[in-house]
Structure 1
Amino acid sequence: MVVYPPGTLFVGQRFQTKEQVQDSINRFHFVNYCTYKVKHSNTTRLLMECVHHDCAWRCRAILRTREQHWEIMILEGPHTCVYPLIHTIHEIIEADPSTPISTIIAHIKLTMGYTISYKKGWLAKQHAIENIFGNWEEFYNKLPGMLQAMQMYVPGFIWKFNTQPAYQGDLLDKGSVRFKRLFWTFKPCIDGFAFCKPIVQVDGTFLYGKYKGMLLVAVAQDGRNNIIPIAFAVVESETTDAWFFFLMNLGRYVTLQDGLCLISDLHEAIRSAYSRN
């Protein structure tokens, strides 16, 4: 019986035993970062398919009773599920996490020979980002500890952290809370503002990812017209409460003097928060 390299599968491939068939299937999926399930198995027939119902991969092997060997009779595919795609685009996403889905689809077409849907490309990108940079929920859980470490090792670092109740469906999870808002600034920002013009500009931009939100930023300008960021916040959206949280902490820790000029885009939430502040 011919011995093939690990991960090799093709129609007509022969094995002495059923166990050798299964071992070869296992090696194939290990090499290609895929997962399969056995749909049917008996003493003369073995049928396997991808665990993902929308994947095209399928394999059928039978026992040739006259020759007394097992042979792969049907091998459909390749795997069109997300997991082999993750391995294929790993280097692309690691180099540039903002790679467009259209680029991923084109890369899969070039390297694997078939065209995936936009949804599948998007899912592959999200899984690749998680594999490379970590899980979203895990990083949110690490955030308080990271901020405490910053406060310990970065002199003058200031942060204010708000949470909200966590729910599992409609039920309150008493043992957990969810991230709501975060304000932070650094001592060089605070010290530097004392030498800036008495003008502060605030604005916000959208955050993209699994969990949406807004990044709020305050900047000032020094005597040489250099732009200096002085405070930051991540909030749920541009609500009055969110802007009040940002402006209140900005005034409490950074812009301590009176007579400042505040420049903004006149968003209604900013105006309401400023009036409240």
Structure 2
Amino acid sequence: MEFRSRESVISAIKSYTISRGVDYTVYESEPQTFYAKCKEYGAGCDWLIRASLIRKKACWEIRRYNGKHTCTVVTISQDHAKLDSDTIADVIRPLVESDLLIKVKSVIAEVQSRFNYTVSYRKAWLAKQKAVAKVFGDWEVSYQTLPVWLKAMTVKMPRSRVQIKTLPVYRETEEVQGVRVLHHIFQRHRHFTDRKMKRVSLRPLAFHQSTQ
């Protein structure tokens, strides 16, 4: 079996492990090799897997595989150790692409439907942030480039004016000093309908949206 990258190999192994309700321990994780065994290896289960990079084919291959797990799951859990936020982010990426404002509870429902596990709110929220970053770029990087973009816009359109509104950040009931959150940005563009009349339009360019 061939895979295009190391990440796709690990993702496939994780998905199989989660669906089976079993777990594994990583014994070797290198840029060109990934080797793992069942957590019950030597105690009732001989499952192991080794994948390696094949340079001539420019792909990854499963070089050793002992077949299905023979261990028995004796405990029932609401979550799985390998069902981390990165794995969930890859799963919900298509949902984020179609709806940036998807609710965290919808992410939890999607994971439950796909894997039959109920993850915590925090894990689902973190997965959504990672999925958004993969689709639209990192929030912090975007925020840092925003002033440059706004300056270029006002230079290109000299009659434009930009208004940025921020809000204070509170920790419980106390305001956090030196920290504010972006609420919205308005662009004002003044143009003339004729020599005597002028019109001012004010429209939002960006805003802060709750992730609840």
Q: Which has the higher contact order (CA 8 A, sep 6+)?
A: 2
With normalisation by structure 2, the TM-score equals 0.50
With normalisation by structure 1, the TM-score equals 0.40
